[in-house]
Amino acid sequence: MKIERITLREIRMRLKAPFETSFGVVQDRRILLVEVIADGVNGWGEVTAGATPVFNPETTDTAWHIISDFLAPVIVGKDLADAAEFSVLVEHVRGHEMAKAGVENALWDAEARIKGIPLHKLLGGTREELDCGVSLGIRENPHALVKRVEEELRVGYQRIKLKIKPSKDIEYVAAVRRQFPNIQLSVDANSAYRLEDADQLKELDEFKLLMIEQPLNWDDIHSHAKLQAQLQTPLCLDECINNSRHALAAIEMKACRIINIKLGRVGGHTEARKVQKIALEHSVPAWCGGMLESGIGRAHNIAMSTLPGFSLPGDVSASRRYWDEDIIEPEVEVSAQGTIQVSIASGIGYRVRHERIKQLTVREASFPTKSSTVAVSRLAS
């Protein structure tokens, strides 16, 4: 596939409601979209970095820099055998997985469209319908959280994940569990605890949670192994897993019994498939995490979730939970049974709304840089 052009755009999208985690509150998202044109066909990818480096070290601006100065120049004008070759060509760039994933996934979409097949088929996916869960932000009090859980269950979601942090944990989880004794329930701490908090985390064992996600430091597999040895509840790693080597280390060290796979966090579909394969070979269940994506990132998550290792409901939910208006058509919808029907259209399986994207764009750059960077100054600051 001949890479003719790469266009990088920053769009601003406002979440319907603020989302609170242990590292802060987000409502206004700064999303980078990557559009590639290869063999006359376009493909789309999304960079899932946040505006601030609180989940992992990347940000919207570091990704802009890395893609513009180091990733795009490597492939513009080149003829690639396939999308997977990209990960080899940019191996010399350390880290910056989310920046890489934005470009690589756009190439995967283009490759699938060139071949006229759905992306999930190109990836080797085997599922046609996905089980969906939701991730609920921290609330002002347990009562408010119970109400939110009830609403999501009524819509049909099959698994509820609660964000927790010290002081907003036991009481909240207890309230939800009391009201809903039999639902699939999990918690995500986004690195808010330390190994010394093990006794507090052990109190969660009584709530029969599906998992406790990433309680300890974002880069500390070793301490998670020590914690897992003290808990009955399975640990799931999110932030700690940036590639398949991390996944293997975590599994062999018994640092987790479940893995959350995020395309951005591991650098794109090629590496995500490797993580999936390792998890499957070790009978470690995997599931697809979310990063408050627009429809483009969401569509990629859906395609990835069709792979055999994804045996637990993911955080991939309906567009309407996040946005008044998404940038794809149709929007991602979830059935009353809490499932997503995988699209059989080619590429990511959804139509990208160019006009809508144009309205939301605040800066844009194209490679090769004939016209150089065009700053669209719609915003006051």
Q: Is 262 a catalytic residue?
A: yes
Contact 347, 119 (CB under 8 A): yes
Q: Which is nearer to ligand OSB, 6 or 292 (CB)?
A: 292
Q: Is 163 a catalytic residue?
A: yes
Q: Which is nearer to ligand OSB, 24 or 77 (CB)?
A: 24
Give the range of 9-17, 210-218, 241-249, 346-354 binding Mg ion by CB under 5 A: 210-218
Min dist CB 292 to ligand OSB, Å, is 5
CA distance 243 to 260: 12
* Nearest residue to 282 (alpha-carbon basis) of 243, 253, 241: 253
Query: Could you say which of ligand OSB, Mg ion, none residue 315 binds, taking C-beta under 5 to 8 angstroms by partner kind?
Result: ligand OSB
Query: Could you say which of ligand OSB, Mg ion, none residue 102 binds, taking C-beta under 5 to 8 angstroms by partner kind?
Result: none
- Tell me which DSSP letter residue 372 carries: -
Tokens of 213: 């996600």
Query: Could you say which of ligand OSB, Mg ion, none residue 135 binds, taking C-beta under 5 to 8 angstroms by partner kind?
Result: ligand OSB
Among 20, 35, 169, 188, binds Mg ion (CB under 5 A): 188
Q: Select which of 100, 161, 165, 262 is catalytic.
A: 262
By rule CB under 5 A, what string of x and - marks binding of each residue 146-185 to Mg ion?
----------------------------------------
Give the length of the chain. Answer: 381
* Nearest residue to 19 (alpha-carbon basis) of 54, 57, 62, 46: 54
Give the range of 90-98, 233-241, 262-270, 328-336 binding Mg ion by CB under 5 A: 233-241
When asked if residue 238 is in the footprint of Mg ion (CB under 5 A), the reply is: yes
Alpha helix locations (H) across the chain? Answer: 60-66, 72-75, 85-89, 97-115, 119-123, 142-155, 170-179, 198-202, 221-228, 244-252, 263-266, 269-281, 295-305, 354-360
Cis peptide before 142 (omega within 30 of 0): no
Q: Which is nearer to ligand OSB, 75 or 241 (CB)?
A: 241
Min dist CB 296 to Mg ion, Å, is 20
Coil, strand or helix at 14: strand
Contact 122, 108 (CB under 8 A): yes
Min dist CB 377 to ligand OSB, Å, is 28
Min dist CB 278 to ligand OSB, Å, is 20
Binding residues (CB under 6 A) for ligand OSB: these are 55, 135, 188, 190, 238, 289-292, 315
Q: Which is nearer to ligand OSB, 55 or 350 (CB)?
A: 55
Q: Which is nearer to ligand OSB, 113 or 159 (CB)?
A: 159
Q: Select which of 163, 165, 168, 274 is catalytic.
A: 163
- Provide the 10 A C-beta neighbour count for residue 86: 27
**b/e map of 192-213 (b: 16 or more CB within 10 Å)?**
bbebebbeebeebeebebbbbb
- Strand-strand pairing, 286-288 and 328-329: unpaired
Query: Could you say which of Mg ion, ligand OSB, none residue 327 binds, taking C-beta under 5 to 8 angstroms by partner kind?
Result: none
* Nearest residue to 334 (alpha-carbon basis) of 348, 347, 315, 349: 315
Closest-by-Cβ residue to ligand OSB is 290
Min dist CB 48 to ligand OSB, Å, is 8
Tokens of 50: 């946040």
Binding footprint of Mg ion on the chain (CB under 5 A):
188, 213, 238
What are the catalytic residues?
163, 262
